[in-house]
Amino acid sequence: MNEERYILFDEYLQGELTIEGKNDFERQLLEDPEFSSQFETFKNVQFQLANKFGIEQERQAFKENLTQISEQHFDKTPKVIGLKPWYLAVAASVAVLFGLFFFNYNQNPVYGDYNNPEQASFTERSTADETLKEAEKAYNHKTYNKAIPLFETVLQKNKSAEIQFFYGVSLLEESHYIKAEAVFNELKAGSSAYKEKAVWYLALSKLKQKDYEGCKKILESISEDYEGYDQVEELLHQLD
């Protein structure tokens, strides 16, 4: 992730972008999965730091220390013509912040590193109704808050395991943990093709809530025949 993106992410979260800039940013979130993933990681780190440095004075002192470190360890020669020196210092500080955070402060895995929702493709079937098509579009655009009520409408008539699964993922993305886990547990108890995937997402739900022991326990119950077992092994290794 380059320095300019750190700055852009911070400006968006602080509400400092123009209306046009905000619209461009949110459009890029929808159209660029890599950009969206990097932004989620940035938000996760900020959330973790808010917990570790909850008192504003401590966070400010930490930021000042990072700036001092950045002056010693980063080349502040502008990489982009016209980039303000202050922005370079902030970018360097954020880069140090990420490095210190991941290396020293949090050795636990991050939800965003394992969160790769697959695309929904309901509309490829002639039987799909308009509401389901809208739900698919909202889901694939990562506007999960819009997808959730659409899925709920569809599920009143068609409670297929496939639709339930994508509904559960949408709930998890919006941090509706109790509802999401209820959906995944129902799929886990069934015999559909989404059974093992549901167990994986139960583990991810625990990971997102930073319940590392709960996450590990669920991961250990997943069969080695699961198609994504390489990720299961990787996450188990990170949790050890």
At 149, list the tokens.
């009520």
pLDDT tens for each residue of 29-84: 888 887 888 888 877 776 666 555 544 454 455 455 555 555 554 454 444 444 44
Based on the fold, state whether residues 130 and 235 are members of the same structural domain.
yes
Same domain (yes/no): 97, 127: no
Note the pLDDT of residue 31.
85
**CB contact at 8 A, 89 and 71:** yes
User: Are 31 and 70 part of one and the same domain?
Assistant: yes
Pick the more confident residue, 168 or 98. Answer: 168
Alpha helices in the chain (DSSP H): 3-13, 19-31, 33-52, 56-73, 85-100, 111-114, 130-140, 144-155, 161-173, 177-189, 195-208, 212-219, 229-239
Domain boundary (57, 92, 107) is at 107
- Whole-angstrom distance between the N-terminal and C-terminal Cα of the chain? 28
Residues 8, 28 within the same domain? yes
Which of the four pLDDT bands, split at 50, 70 and 90, describes residue 99? Answer: low
Residue 65 structural domain: 3-107
pLDDT digits (tens, 9 = 90+) for 190-234: 999 999 999 999 999 999 999 999 999 999 999 999 998 999 999
Q: Are 184 and 198 in contact (CB under 8 A)?
A: yes
Residues 26 and 124 in one domain: no
Q: What is the pLDDT of residue 96?
A: 52
Angle of CA points 117, 120, 122, to nearest 5°: 165
Instruction: Assess whether 123 and 201 both reside in one domain.
Output: yes
pLDDT at 105: 45
Residues 145 and 87 in one domain: no
Q: What is the tens place of the pLDDT at every residue in 106-161?
A: 468 889 889 888 999 885 554 558 899 999 999 999 999 999 999 999 999 999 99
Residue 120 sits in the same domain as residue 31: no
Are 46 and 13 in contact by the 8 Å Cβ rule? The answer is yes
> Nearest 5 degrees, angle CA 31-CA 148-CA 11?
45
Q: For residue 225, report the phi and psi dihedrals to the nearest 5 degrees.
A: -80, -10
pTM assigned to the model: 0.58
pLDDT value, residue 171: 97
User: What are the CB-based long-range contacts (under 8 Å, 24+) for 230-236?
Assistant: 231/114, 231/200, 232/200, 232/203, 235/109, 235/114, 235/203, 235/207
Q: What is the CATH number of the domain that holds 168?
A: 1.25.40.10
